[in-house]
Structure 1
Amino acid sequence: MNTRYYDLINQTFYFPQEEFTLNKDNLQFHGIDLMKLVEEYGTPLKFTYLPKISKNINRAKMWFRNAMEKHDYDAKYYYCYCTKSSHFQFVLNEALKNNIHIETSSAFDIDIVETLMAEGKINKNTFIVCNGFKRDQYVTNIARLINNGHKNTIPVIDNFEELDLLQEQIDGKFKIGIRIAAEEEPKFEFYTSRLGIGYKDIVPFYRKQIAENKKVELKMLHFFINAGIRDTSYYWNELLKCMKVYIALKKECPSLDSLNIGGGFPIKNTLAFEYDYQYMVDEILNQIKIACDEAEVPVPHIFTEFGSFTVGEAGGALYQVLYQKKQNDRENWNMIDSSFITTLPDTWAINKRFVMLAVNRWNETYERVLLGGLTCDGDDYYNSEQHMNAVYLPKYNKEKPLYIGFFNTGAYQETIGGFGGLSHCILPQPKHILIDKDKNGIFATEVFSEQQKAEDVLEILGYKKKQEQ
């Protein structure tokens, strides 16, 4: 009988895969021996595999390059990284090795941009696309960036008042974009995105506030789909509606020359993940070109804003199963040495699934389990995988420690979980390490942050200050 954990994975999926292989009965991720990481750094452990960031950026550039050649698409492609997915310096440092651009969403983003400029990581040719609802400090920071000479800063207008706010603080002429308030998928509780300006209002807004405005140059139309770039009738319908607006604007506004197709590519969340990236890029550019050719307007330059796609597949989290609780005849709870709510908050908040695999003991028999976190919250659990609606792991044995890994967790989890701050039940933040690879294929690890200490938490809560008084 095929009762080993390896047999389960092998008969359910194509295995091994590009990033997942085995060394005897231990899992490897991009050739990294995960058990060695556990032995050296312990658990719980967060890690970021930096080379994956550059690899995904260059994959996307290749897909767009191929599609532009295939369709004789006479324009340029600009890859932007949206910083909200992960603001960490090590992420930006790796991403910016690849001649990319940046998308921001809040005031402090601009401070990060200015720091990167001072360090020589970006220059005047780098586009800074400023999205989000803009008030006060964000407007001030955008104006400072432009007034200090960074003319490739493009604030994307989100509502009718923003243009006036920007003009009050920006000296001289500046570029802008306009964001379309796309209609949401039918399953949403509301019909139209709260972000951007409605389809029917964009051309009138241009005529009223921009057309005769000597201070403003409209360069970009921003098209964002919350569900991401997916091969659905909903996506294609919204793209065609966007093109109608772009063409109508272009015929009145010669300076408009760029289309920002925000909304990212999906990333792998199961070993059964399938997505034809090249096909999607081909078809997007094909539809844009057809629409422009029929209207006899030049095709736009293409901007994308990939956040999760850039950094998501670089991250992972390792845990130890501490104990198994048998709550009834059918439910075995494997308790991990951390919390899902605090370290992988998307599993709790939006029921997101990540690739989850055992790290060791692949050649032993398996069982169906539920995974529980250490907090006292009833929602601190992870109990299903998309492919089988259950979690299967090697059988618990208190004499043989079991380690598990969650992969492709590199986007949003640290910032949503409150990195360096307070966590539910004040469980400590795990140790976080960075993994790089040199030209000879040698891995190097570096501790980015140690596990949070009680003193750190007490200071945040005010206890340390009280003691010092």
Structure 2
Amino acid sequence: MNTKYIDLINQTFDFPQSEFALENNKLFFHDIDLNKLVEVYGAPLKFTYLPQISNNINRAKKWFEKAFLKHNYKGYYNYCYCTKSSHFKHILDEALKNDIHIETSSTFDIDIVENLKKTGKINNETYIICNGFKREQYITNIARLINNGHQNCIPVIDNYEEINLLSNEINGNFDIGIRIASEEEPKFEFYTSRLGIGYKNIVPFYNRQIKDNPQVKLKMLHFFINTGIRDNAYYWNELLKCLKVYTSLKKVCPSLDSLNIGGGFPIKSSLAFDFDYEYMVDEIVNQIKQACEEEGVDVPNIFTEFGSFTVGESGGAIYEVLYQKQQNDREKWNMINSSFITTLPDTWAINKRFVMLPINRWNSSYERVLLGGLTCDSDDYYNSEQHINAIYLPKYDKDKPLYVGFFNTGAYQETIGGFGGLQHCLIPNPKHILIDKDEQGNIITTLFKEQQKSEDLLEILGYKKEPLVEENIEILETENNLQLADK
């Protein structure tokens, strides 16, 4: 009978897959022996496989290059990375190896941009697309960047007041974009995005505040769909509405030459994931060209803003199953040695699913289980996979440790979880490992951060020792030493 875990996977999916392979009953991820990783660093741990960032950037570039050639598209393509997906230096360093640009969303992003300029990672030719609702300090930081010579910084106008706020602080002329307030998918609780300016108001807004303003030049229309780029009627309908705005605006605004199709590609969330990226890129380019030809305007340069697609598939987390609790006749709880709420907060907040696989014991028989975290919160669990509506893992055996991996977790989880800060029930951040390859293809691992210690959390909470107490201890020790010397 086919009762082993490997049998279940082979019967359910095409396996192995490009990033996953099995050798000697052990799981490999991009040629990385995950069991060896646990042997060296322990669990729980998080890891970032840096080469996958460059892999995905260059995949997207090739799709657009191919579509441009096929359709004889006369514009150019710019790949932007959304820093909000992961602000870590090692992420930006890897992404910027690939001649890309940056999209920001808040004040401190500009400080990161300025740091990258100082270290030579970017220069004045790099586009900095500034999105988001702009408070006073964000405006000031954008103005500082432009005033210091970064003319390729394009603040994307989110509301009617931002042009005046920027004009008051920027010396000389500057370029801007306008964000469309797209209509949300029908399942949303509201109809229109809170960000940007409504479809019908954009041309009047241009005529009223931009057309005769000698300081400001409109260069970009920004189109963002909250659900990302997906092959469904909702996406194509919103894209066509956006293109109608673009062509109408282009007829009265000759300086407009770029369309930013924000909203990222989906990433792999199960072994059954199937998304035709190349078709989607081809059809997007085709529709943009057709709409512009029909209205007799030049095609725009295309910008994309990929955050999760850039960094998501580089990340992973590994936990150990500590114990199994049989709570009734049907439910078995495998308790992990960490917390889903704190380390993979999207599983709790938006019911997101990641690729989940055991990293050892694939030749063991399997059972249906629930996975529980260590916090005392009833929501700290992971109980279903999209493809089979359940979790199946090798049977628990207290004498044979079982390790479970979650993959493609590289976007948002650290920042949403509050990396380096307080965690729910004071569960510490796991150890974090960076994985790279040298020129010969040898795998290199580096410890980025140790697991949080109790003193790290206590200091944040205000429980550090009082300086006066420490001074008193030193005085007493000195007096004791003098007394000993006298004797």
Shorter-chain TM band: over 0.9
The equivalences for 1:243-282 within 5 A come to 243-282=243-282
Choose 1 or 2 for highest CA Rg: 2
Tell me the CA shift for residue 219 of structure 1.
Answer: 0.2
Report the counterpart of residue 131 of structure 1 in structure 2: 131
Report the counterpart of residue 198 of structure 2 in structure 1: 198
Task: Specify every segment of 5 or more residues in structure 2 that has no aligned partner in the other structure, as ranges.
Answer: 470-487
Report the counterpart of residue 296 of structure 1 in structure 2: 296
Secondary structure at the aligned position of 2:149 is classed as coil
Report the counterpart of residue 392 of structure 1 in structure 2: 392
Q: How far apart in 1 are the matches of 2:135 and 2:52? A: 35
Q: Give CA deviations for 1:377-399 in whole Å, capped at 9, x if unaligned.
A: 00000000001111000000000
Tell me the CA shift for residue 56 of structure 1.
Answer: 0.1
Report the counterpart of residue 350 of structure 1 in structure 2: 350
Report the counterpart of residue 218 of structure 2 in structure 1: 218
Q: How far apart in 1 are the matches of 2:384 and 2:148? A: 51
The equivalences for 1:55-454 within 5 A come to 55-454=55-454
Count of aligned pairs: 469
Q: How far apart in 2 are the matches of 1:325 and 1:67? A: 54
Could you list the structure 1 runs, at least 4 aligned residues long, displaced by more than 4 angstroms after superposition: 465-469
One-letter amino acid of the counterpart of residue 122, structure 1: I
Secondary structure at the aligned position of 1:68 is classed as helix
One-letter amino acid of the counterpart of residue 74, structure 1: K
Tell me the CA shift for residue 24 of structure 1.
Answer: 1.2
Q: Give CA deviations for 1:359-409 in whole Å, capped at 9, x if unaligned.
A: 000011000000000000000000000011110000000000000000000
Q: Give CA deviations for 1:235-273 in whole Å, capped at 9, x if unaligned.
A: 011001001110111001110000000000000000000
Tell me the CA shift for residue 465 of structure 1.
Answer: 4.9
Q: How far apart in 1 are the matches of 2:387 and 2:198? A: 38
**TM-score computed with the length of structure 1 as normaliser:** 0.99
Q: How far apart in 2 are the matches of 1:460 and 1:436? A: 32
Q: How far apart in 1 are the matches of 2:252 and 2:121? A: 37
Q: Quick one: percent identity of the two aligned structures?
A: 75
One-letter amino acid of the counterpart of residue 323, structure 1: Y
Q: How far apart in 1 are the matches of 2:142 and 2:266? A: 30
Q: Give CA deviations for 1:323-368 in whole Å, capped at 9, x if unaligned.
A: 0001111100000000000000000000000000000000110000
Tell me the CA shift for residue 439 of structure 1.
Answer: 1.9
Q: How far apart in 2 are the matches of 1:434 and 1:465? A: 34
Q: How far apart in 2 are the matches of 1:257 and 1:468? A: 64
Q: How far apart in 2 are the matches of 1:213 and 1:161? A: 14
One-letter amino acid of the counterpart of residue 323, structure 2: Y
Tell me the CA shift for residue 438 of structure 1.
Answer: 1.3
Report the counterpart of residue 6 of structure 2 in structure 1: 6
One-letter amino acid of the counterpart of residue 134, structure 1: K
Tell me the CA shift for residue 466 of structure 1.
Answer: 4.4
Report the counterpart of residue 17 of structure 2 in structure 1: 17
Tell me the CA shift for residue 135 of structure 1.
Answer: 1.2
Change (3 A) 1:319 1:468: farther
Q: How far apart in 1 are the matches of 2:88 and 2:468? A: 32
Q: How far apart in 2 are the matches of 1:56 and 1:331? A: 39
Tell me the CA shift for residue 23 of structure 1.
Answer: 1.0
One-letter amino acid of the counterpart of residue 37, structure 2: L
The equivalences for 1:24-63 within 5 A come to 24-63=24-63
Report the counterpart of residue 483 of structure 2 in structure 1: none
Q: Give CA deviations for 1:305-326 in whole Å, capped at 9, x if unaligned.
A: 0000000000000000000001
One-letter amino acid of the counterpart of residue 271, structure 1: L
One-letter amino acid of the counterpart of residue 250, structure 1: K
One-letter amino acid of the counterpart of residue 386, structure 2: Q
**TM-score computed with the length of structure 2 as normaliser:** 0.96
Q: Give CA deviations for 1:66-124 in whole Å, capped at 9, x if unaligned.
A: 00000000010000000000000000000000000000000000000000000000001
Q: How far apart in 2 are the matches of 1:465 and 1:148? A: 44
Change (3 A) 1:64 1:330: same
Tell me the CA shift for residue 468 of structure 1.
Answer: 5.7
Q: Give CA deviations for 1:404-426 in whole Å, capped at 9, x if unaligned.
A: 00000000000000000000001
One-letter amino acid of the counterpart of residue 21, structure 2: T
